[in-house]
Amino acid sequence: MKPLRYSRILLKLSGEALMGDQGFGISPNMIGYVAEEIRSVAEMGTQIAIVVGGGNIFRGIKASSYGMERTAADHMGMLATVINSIALQAALEKQGIQTRVQTAISMHEVAEPYIRRRAVRHLEKGRVVIFAAGTGNPYFTTDTAAVLRAQEIQAEILLKATKVDGVYDADPVLHINANFVKHITYMTALEKQLKVMDMTAISLAMDNRLPLVIFNLTTGGNIARVVLGETVGSRIDNDPDNPGKTGLSDPTA
């Protein structure tokens, strides 16, 4: 087997990724597929932490646009991520992978509280750790929570799983002529306001030089390919020296 390029990763899964072809909720087939993809990487020896969104159940920002108070809506969204995390834990343990869920909001009966040192110890023991309830604070997305947790556990890279192949200069669903962007710097992503992650998350990653890889979850083996150092999806980092790859005018080059 090829040597691992990354020994500790953080995987960001959107809640929508767990819906599969459904319009709502959790698809048993999709969550089983995700668990199998994670198991294949865990068996290679990579330490894996995961942050799961809750948009398949409840999205706080959308609810607040309908008149619900934002803080209450965001707390409901955090609870949705706990539901997804417990479901993913069950799917992973069905695959024989020891898994722990840690929540930013205390709920001792269903999950551990988030304690950084305990999370790192779980990873060192080969357990998958799922971080639920975002940062525990309203007004912060699970993208930002993912970057924060990645920094806290000293992950070497953050992988964001999506339904598209990576970063485009426009929404590929709405624009058939959208161009795929293989590599881009943090600053260019911020300048162009690309919607691949929220701006707070990208800024935090930039400040701490955490590389980001955006890839298509539905292509089997993609997580393993990234861990082995293969080029998959789009990469966001601080390296402007990738001529011909950004596909965009890069003000930092």
Sign of CA pseudo-dihedral 51, 55, 159, 137: negative
Give the orientation angle of helix 28-42 with respect to helix 70-94, to 10 degrees. 70
Residue-level pLDDT at 119: 98
In this prediction the pTM is 0.90
Q: What is the mean pLDDT of the chain?
A: 90
Residue-level pLDDT at 240: 63
| Residues present in the chain in total | 253
Q: What are phi and psi of 215, to 5 degrees?
A: -145, 170
State which amino acid sits at residue 51. V
Domains, the chain, in order of start with CATH, read 8-237 (3.40.1160.10)
Is residue 169 scored above 90 in pLDDT?
A: no
Is residue 211 scored above 80 in pLDDT?
A: yes
- Alpha carbons within 13 angstroms on the beta-carbon side of residue 193 total 0
Residue-level pLDDT at 249: 37
The string of pLDDT tens digits covering residues 104-138 is: 999 999 999 999 999 999 999 999 999 999 999 99
Q: Which of 16-30, 44-58, 88-102, 143-157 has the lowest mean pLDDT?
A: 16-30
Residue-level pLDDT at 174: 81
The distance in angstroms from the start CA to the end CA of the chain is 36
- Angle (nearest 5°) at CA 201 between 141 and 59: 15
**Average pLDDT for 150-169:** 94
Please return the burial class of 233, using the count of CB atoms within 10 Å of its CB with bins 0-12, 13-18 and 19+: buried
